[in-house]
Amino acid sequence: MAEARVQNRQVVITTTLVEYNPPTPPQGSGPHRYQFALYPLNESVPAADVPTHRGGFDLAAFASDLGLGNPVASFQFTAEN
């Protein structure tokens, strides 16, 4: 999770809140779905509200709790091991 701004049509990451954790589905467990969502922010996300793990993460509740509204972009992919 990162905070970023757009400058001269390029995304510039200003703060990394949580390092990227690549897909690691258990071997033989079938396809796993991974999602990214982009929300506009008017202010920084409080550190206490940043998730510490992704298993069972409720994106809708997280966005609602912080008053983020709807995402402006999203991306989804599957990975299998």
Per DSSP, helices labelled H in 1-81 are: 59-65
pLDDT value of residue 66:
83
Residue 45 inside a domain? The answer is yes
Residue 69 inside a domain? The answer is yes
* Dihedral sign of CA atoms 6, 8, 11, 17 in order: negative
pLDDT value of residue 80:
93
Residues of the chain below pLDDT 70? 47-49
Residue 28 inside a domain? The answer is yes
pTM: 0.63
CB burial class (10 A; 0-12, 13-18, 19+) of residue 68?
middle
| CA 46 to centroid of chain Cα atoms | 15
Residue 4 inside a domain? The answer is no
pLDDT 10s digits, 47-64: 666 777 777 788 888 888
Residue 33 inside a domain? The answer is yes
Tally of structural domains, the chain = 1
Residue 73 belongs to what domain range?
Answer: 23-79
Under 8 Å between Cβ of 36 and 75: yes
pLDDT value of residue 48:
61
